[in-house]
Structure 1
Amino acid sequence: MYQYISQQYEEKDFSHADQREGELDHCTFTRCRFKGTHLEEVTTTGCHFIECDFTGALLNASIHTGSAFTNCRFQGSNLFVTKFVACKMVGSDFTGAQLDGITLQGGDWSYTNLRRANLSKQDLRGIRFVEADLYEAILEKAILKDADLTRAHLAKARLKGADLRGAKMDGVDFKSLDVKDARMDIQQAVAFIRSYGAIVN
């Protein structure tokens, strides 16, 4: 077990290193590489990861609280039972990442690439997904109450049984969604009906 406090790293290559079970407290990593790095059970608090590459990294059971991962790459990384609490993930790419058992509590996931991500049954209330790419994402029975889905790309997303009440959905193409059994508020229901050309007085 190791601990880094208030450390700063720029363009450092941690690829394929064994960095598991560490504690990172208010550290900053800029354009660092963590390709294939073992980061199982790592905890980060108030850290900043800027344009870092986590391709193929193993982050299983890691916990991140108040940290920021901006414009980072997580392609093919393993995030099994990873927990993100009030984290800023703006612009990060999760293409092909293993997200089973992941927990998202609050935070800002705007402009992220979550294409085809399985987030079914997740409690995603209050999270910002502004202009996030959720194409073909599985959001069945997810709780999206009060989430911000403004202009999110939700084409072919599966929202069956999801709770959308209170979510901001300005600019969302309702005709591209599968919302069978989803729970909507009145404002969303009206927007949904109008998207099919109905006139609501």
Structure 2
Amino acid sequence: MNDYYSDEIYDKVSFTSQEFSKTDFDSCTFKNCDFSELHINGSEFLECEFIDCNLSNARVKGSSFKENRFENTKLVGIKFYEVDAFLFKVDFIKCNLDFSSFYQMTMENFRFFDCILEGVDFTETNLSGTHFDNCNLKDAIFDATNLENVDFSSAENFIIDLEKNQLKGATFSKSNVGNLLAKYKINII
């Protein structure tokens, strides 16, 4: 691939047989594209949209994602902690992020809308001010995680250890606050 693309629209393109190495995409739109298992090394995505795409198990080491939007996209098994953290900012809307990892990342004020986040690793991540709107967090890992001012009010299936995480100012609903007490194996009626 060439080194720089701007304002391009890619529709139903399979990138699985290619490698992005130091390739930059600026204000590009990817629709119904397949990036699964792709090596995306040292590339930059600036203000791009990924709609109905598959990035499952893509390797993103050293790549940067600045002001990107992922909608109805599969991002299963992504090691986000390998991306260039400088100006990392993305929105996730109706995405499947199962078994991805945000280990030790700073993700203040991020938004996850209607996402499936089963088994996602948020160990030692700074999620302060983040919103999990209508998200399924079954088996998500929160360990030494900064969850201050995080909105969990419409999230479900999470288990958070009050003693191992920072939760000052976090918001929960009456229907899901019991998930904070799961480790104590008590009955709430």
What TM-score comes out, normalization by structure 2 length? 0.83
AA at the equivalent of 2:15: F
- Tell me, in whole angstroms, the C-alpha distance in 2 between the residues paired with 1:178 and 1:160: 11
AA at the equivalent of 1:41: G
Are the equivalent residues in 2 in contact too, given 1:69–1:89 (CA < 8 A)?
yes
Specify the alignment match of 1:60 in structure 2: 61
- Tell me, in whole angstroms, the C-alpha distance in 2 between the residues paired with 1:43 and 1:167: 33
Are the equivalent residues in 2 in contact too, given 1:111–1:130 (CA < 8 A)?
yes
Q: Which moved more, 1:121-130 or 1:170-179?
A: 170-179
Specify the alignment match of 2:112 in structure 1: 109
Q: Does 1:97 align with 2:112?
A: no
- Tell me, in whole angstroms, the C-alpha distance in 2 between the residues paired with 1:171 and 1:152: 12
- Decide whether aligned partners of structure 1 residues 172 and 17 sit closer, same or farther in structure 2, where only a CA change above 3 A counts: farther
Q: Which moved more, 1:163-172 or 1:119-128?
A: 163-172
Specify the alignment match of 1:88 in structure 2: 91
- Decide whether aligned partners of structure 1 residues 32 and 6 sit closer, same or farther in structure 2, where only a CA change above 3 A counts: same
Q: Does 1:135 align with 2:138?
A: yes
- Tell me, in whole angstroms, the C-alpha distance in 1 between the residues paired with 2:7 and 2:157: 38
Specify the alignment match of 1:72 in structure 2: 73
Gaps of 5+ in 2: none
Specify the alignment match of 1:26 in structure 2: 27
- Cα deviation for residue 18 of structure 1 reads 0.6
- Tell me, in whole angstroms, the C-alpha distance in 2 between the residues paired with 1:170 and 1:103: 25
- Cα deviation for residue 124 of structure 1 reads 0.5
Are the equivalent residues in 1 in contact too, given 2:104–2:126 (CA < 8 A)?
no
Are the equivalent residues in 2 in contact too, given 1:59–1:80 (CA < 8 A)?
no
Q: Does 1:169 align with 2:172?
A: yes
Specify the alignment match of 1:190 in structure 2: none
Q: Which has the higher strand share?
A: 2
- Tell me, in whole angstroms, the C-alpha distance in 2 between the residues paired with 1:43 and 1:57: 14
> How much is the aligned-residue C-alpha RMSD, in angstroms?
2.5
Aligned residues between the structures: 183
